[in-house]
């Protein structure tokens, strides 16, 4: 391919902006292809002629929605301008490839990324080559008809002017730019022109030595020989096909072949006339363009586009066929990239690609790179249930050998999501999403493994994923609210305080309990601002109650703290700040920390809690009894309240309660009291439970028996009732 040398002057040095750059592009283009055109225009005229075509290409490049049709028209326009030489096409593609984005890239209203522009440019070349080919084929057919007509005329006027017409026919035949051959109906070749001989490698004998029907090639389209038979029987006037031939040196010649039937003056079939246009180079070019559009430049693996084509095929309904997909994401690739640099990261990806490729060599298997460090392996066939597991195993094994990079050995690991199933049930997008979710499950389980897709886990993950992404905005949009559940003195039944329990009023899913989103908020870190909001809001609420309810003892507010909040450096400062701003005394606040968060806690972790306790804030050990903590350890912890887990209360549902359960609770209560800890019980649902817990010596209780968690004014009315 000939690409003109870089013109002097950078594109943006042009004085007259977009129009100037477009003109510049047309100049380069005309210089590149003018020598191979058969036009009668001068070069400046030719350049004028190309300008509107250049404009079409430029507009196509940054259309709001990409549409390749104009590029197709430009290809046809070249043929119309007599640029029919194959060189004209390849030079044009070279110019478009090197200069279109450079000169016309920034001309449009739509801002395109470099990657998008390149992708569009490749598609433009593709469409342009297609338009060129089609127009040329149509022209060939027209040319062929003219020749056939003159051949017929020559024969019907044979008696009158045999020599003259014969000479005219010869001239057309000899000078034609396409290969022409005439054969009888048995396939014996009678005449061929020089162009045809050249196309076949230059040996006339080689062409003549075979009958037409002996030029069989394994890649012949299925219709070719059927059409041929119909034509020589006189049932078909002509046909056009794409057909390969072997040259005498064994290489393959690709042609657009048009065959017409020539009849004698009585209308009986007499000869067949073949026109062959050499498309070998164009075909190679198309193959190259197609290859570039469907392969990853770094690793040479099929890219996302090709993978989706294959996946779509694999998922099309076919009796008894199944598919298996392994979706691989390297573990910790970002760290390698960040620490060793992108060049090393790239080499690692190439190595991984090579290894993956060697894992999927069986028919029906393919490996592709989706981008970044994400790869897929696809297998199709009737038995993919077992095959896909083996494939995933092979991939992990292939990755297990360390990769040598710059003299060091890198251990590469990956997580694989495996999806398997029958064809005809799911779309490519569904399968890929499921594979992606499953891959994350493998990663969450520690990586370096594969996980199998499962519809239920998918559904859970999808809502979890949805909730996680919606969490940050939910706080800004005020979608959280707090319900309060009273804490009651077991001795006299008076309301002693309330626990703040957060809820999320989700726009689609309705009200969600904390078990649905607190773990997600913990995971994403959003728990810190969310927890701060809960603290502020409930302290404000408690202060409001205090102002309305001046008689009676201090009303306490219990707020839950999650482990992440415990680790947060500004926990103490923020809590103090919230209390000071609201005017609530520290003794009215109780922070609930789950037992499991404090198991094995060291002094650093306990320090903030200790500081808060010293200020007078109560610390409660929540869900006590579920974490198997060492009771003797309680002494070390800065806690003043034990909240017995609901499971203890549940054990007392039966009447009479299990004596062993009772003994255990009694034991805990007396130990707690000996350590100066108050005991609260959770989940009291019946009066019998309440009575039993009171007898055992528990101090306060919480549960549906008294009230379900509810709006803050409920507590207010309970307090009033209490006061009465």
Binding site for Mg ion (CB under 5 A): 560, 592, 622-623, 682
Counting Cβ atoms within 10 Å, is residue 339 exposed (0-12), middle (13-18) or buried (19+)? exposed
Selection from Mg ion, ligand C2E, none that 417 binds (CB < 5 to 8 A by kind) is: none
Cα(560)–Cα(503) distance, rounded to whole angstroms? 13
Contacting ligand C2E (CB under 6 A), which of 493, 513, 553, 616? 513
Are residues 192 and 179 in contact, defined by beta-carbon separation less than 8 angstroms? yes
Please tell me the total number of residues recorded for the chain in this structure: 724
Spatial CA neighbour of 678 closest among 610, 619, 615, 607: 619
Cα(389)–Cα(391) distance, rounded to whole angstroms? 5
Choose between 225 and 704: whose C-beta lies nearer to ligand C2E: 704
Residues 6 or more apart whose CB falls under 8 angstroms from that of 649 comprise 681, 682, 683, 684, 685, 689, 693, 703
Selection from ligand C2E, Mg ion, none that 356 binds (CB < 5 to 8 A by kind) is: none
- Cis omega (within 30 of 0) for bond into 86: no
Give the nearest distance from C-beta 515 to ligand C2E in angstroms. Answer: 5
Show the DSSP H helices in 209-274 as ranges: 224-232
Chain residues 166-205 in contact with ligand C2E, contact rule CB under 6 A: none
Instruction: Using the rule CB under 6 A, give the single segment among 337-345, 487-495, 659-667, 680-688 that binds ligand C2E.
Output: 680-688
Contacting ligand C2E (CB under 6 A), which of 631, 704, 720, 723? 704
Count residues near ligand C2E (CB under 6 A).
Answer: 25
Give the nearest distance from C-beta 645 to ligand C2E in angstroms. Answer: 8
Contacting ligand C2E (CB under 6 A), which of 266, 319, 515, 602? 515
Spatial CA neighbour of 411 closest among 353, 348, 469: 348
Q: How many CA atoms lie within 13 A of 147 on its CB side?
A: 28
**CB-based closest residue to Mg ion:** 592
User: x/- string (CB under 6 A) for ligand C2E, residues 539-578?
Assistant: ---------------------xxx----------------
Choose between 351 and 592: whose C-beta lies nearer to Mg ion: 592
Spatial CA neighbour of 369 closest among 361, 377, 379: 377
Give the nearest distance from C-beta 642 to ligand C2E in angstroms. Answer: 13
Chain residues 578-607 in contact with ligand C2E, contact rule CB under 6 A: 592
Choose between 329 and 623: whose C-beta lies nearer to Mg ion: 623
Are residues 669 and 701 in contact, defined by beta-carbon separation less than 8 angstroms? no
Chain residues 473-492 in contact with ligand C2E, contact rule CB under 6 A: 485
Are residues 539 and 578 in contact, defined by beta-carbon separation less than 8 angstroms? yes
CA angle 129, 135, 139 (to 5 degrees): 140
Choose between 53 and 579: whose C-beta lies nearer to ligand C2E: 579
Binding of ligand C2E by 622 (CB under 6 A): yes
Selection from ligand C2E, Mg ion, none that 531 binds (CB < 5 to 8 A by kind) is: ligand C2E
Contacting ligand C2E (CB under 6 A), which of 498, 709, 718, 722? 709
Choose between 33 and 534: whose C-beta lies nearer to ligand C2E: 534
Choose between 126 and 646: whose C-beta lies nearer to ligand C2E: 646
Instruction: Using the rule CB under 6 A, give the single segment among 7-15, 90-98, 420-428, 682-690 that binds ligand C2E.
Output: 682-690
Place of tokens 């396939």: 187
Choose between 403 and 561: whose C-beta lies nearer to ligand C2E: 561
Are residues 687 and 490 in contact, defined by beta-carbon separation less than 8 angstroms? no
Selection from Mg ion, ligand C2E, none that 116 binds (CB < 5 to 8 A by kind) is: none
Are residues 512 and 503 in contact, defined by beta-carbon separation less than 8 angstroms? yes
What are 487's two structure tokens?
């804490």
Q: Which residues of 298-311 are buried (b: 16+ CB within 10 A; e: fewer)?
A: ebebbbbebbbebb
Chain residues 352-371 in contact with ligand C2E, contact rule CB under 6 A: none
What are 33's two structure tokens?
């292809």
Cα(414)–Cα(448) distance, rounded to whole angstroms? 5
Give the nearest distance from C-beta 708 to ligand C2E in angstroms. Answer: 7
Give the nearest distance from C-beta 573 to ligand C2E in angstroms. Answer: 19
Are residues 642 and 661 in contact, defined by beta-carbon separation less than 8 angstroms? no
Give the nearest distance from C-beta 637 to ligand C2E in angstroms. Answer: 17
Binding site for ligand C2E (CB under 6 A): 485, 500-502, 513-515, 518, 531, 534, 560-562, 592, 622-623, 646, 682-685, 702-704, 709
């Amino acid at each position: 391919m000939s690409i003109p040398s870089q013109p002097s002057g950078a594109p943006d040095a042009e004085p007259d902006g977009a129009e100037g750059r477009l003109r510049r592009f047309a100049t380069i283009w005309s210089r590149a292809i003018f020598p191979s055109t058969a036009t009668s225009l001068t070069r400046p005229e030719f350049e004028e002629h190309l300008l509107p075509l250049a404009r079409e290409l430029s507009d196509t490049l940054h259309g709001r929605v990409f549409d390749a049709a104009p590029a197709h028209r430009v290809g046809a326009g070249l043929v119309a301008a007599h640029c029919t030489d194959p060189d004209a096409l390849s030079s044009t593609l070279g110019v478009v490839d090197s200069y279109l984005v450079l000169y016309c890239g920034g001309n449009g209203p739509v801002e395109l990324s470099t990657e998008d522009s390149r992708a569009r440019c490749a598609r433009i070349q593709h469409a342009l080559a297609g338009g060129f080919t089609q127009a040329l084929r149509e022209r060939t057919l027209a040319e062929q008809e003219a020749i056939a007509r003159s051949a017929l005329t020559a024969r019907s006027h044979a008696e009158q002017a045999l020599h003259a017409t014969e000479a005219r026919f010869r001239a057309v035949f000899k000078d034609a730019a396409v290969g022409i051959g005439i054969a009888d109906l048995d396939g014996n070749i009678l005449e061929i022109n020089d162009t045809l001989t050249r196309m076949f490698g230059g040996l006339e004998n080689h062409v003549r030595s075979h009958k037409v029907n002996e030029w069989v090639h394994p890649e012949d389209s299925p219709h070719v020989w059927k059409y041929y038979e119909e034509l020589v029987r006189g049932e078909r006037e002509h046909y056009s096909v794409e057909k390969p031939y072997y040259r005498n040196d064994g290489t393959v010649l690709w042609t657009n072949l048009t065959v017409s039937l020539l009849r004698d003056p009585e209308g009986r079939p007499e000869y067949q006339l073949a026109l062959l246009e050499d498309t070998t180079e164009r075909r190679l070019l198309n193959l190259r363009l197609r290859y570039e559009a469907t392969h990853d430049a770094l690793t040479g693996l099929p890219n996302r586009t090709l993978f989706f084509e294959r996946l779509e095929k694999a998922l099309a309904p076919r009796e008894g066929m199944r598919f298996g997909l392994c979706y691989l994401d390297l573990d910790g690739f970002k760290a390698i990239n960040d620490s060793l640099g992108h060049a090393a990261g790239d080499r690692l990806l190439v190595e991984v690609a090579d290894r993956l490729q060697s894992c999927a060599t069986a028919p029906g298997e393919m490996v592709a790179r989706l981008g970044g460090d994400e790869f897929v392996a696809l297998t199709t066939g009737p038995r993919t249930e077992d095959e896909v597991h083996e494939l995933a195993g092979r991939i992990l094994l292939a990755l297990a050998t360390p990769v040598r990079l710059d003299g060091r050995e890198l251990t590469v690991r990956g997580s694989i999501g495996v999806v398997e199933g029958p064809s005809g049930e799911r779309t490519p997008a569904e399968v890929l999403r499921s594979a992606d979710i499953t891959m994350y499950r493998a990663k969450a389980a520690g990586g370096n493994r594969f996980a199998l897709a499962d519809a239920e886990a998918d559904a859970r993950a999808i809502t979890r994923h949805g909730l996680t992404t919606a969490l940050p905005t939910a706080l800004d949009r005020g979608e959280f609210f707090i319900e309060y559940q009273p804490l009651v003195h077991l001795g006299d039944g008076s309301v002693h305080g309330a626990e703040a329990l957060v809820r999320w009023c989700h726009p689609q899913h309705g009200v969600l309990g904390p078990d649905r989103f607190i773990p997600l908020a913990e995971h994403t870190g959003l728990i810190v601002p969310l927890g701060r909001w809960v603290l502020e809001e409930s302290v404000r609420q408690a202060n409001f109650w205090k102002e309305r309810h001046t008689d009676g003892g201090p009303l306490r507010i219990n707020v839950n703290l999650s482990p992440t909040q415990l680790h947060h450096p500004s926990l103490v400062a923020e809590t103090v700040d919230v209390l000071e701003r609201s005017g609530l005394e520290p003794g009215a606040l109780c922070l609930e920390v789950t037992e499991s968060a404090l198991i094995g806690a060291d002094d650093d972790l306990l320090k903030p809690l200790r500081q808060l306790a010293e200020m007078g804030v109560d610390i409660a050990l929540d869900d006590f009894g579920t974490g198997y903590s060492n009771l003797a350890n309680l002494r070390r912890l800065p806690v003043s309240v034990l909240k017995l887990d609901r499971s203890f209360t549940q054990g007392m549902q039966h009447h009479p309660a299990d004596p062993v359960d009772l003994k255990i609770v009694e034991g805990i209560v007396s130990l707690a009291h000996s350590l100066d800890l108050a005991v609260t019980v959770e989940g009291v649902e019946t009066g019998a439970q309440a009575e039993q817990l009171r007898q055992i010596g528990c101090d306060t209780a919480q549960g549906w028996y008294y009230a379900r968690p509810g709006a803050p004014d409920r507590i207010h009315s309970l307090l009033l009732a209490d006061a009465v």
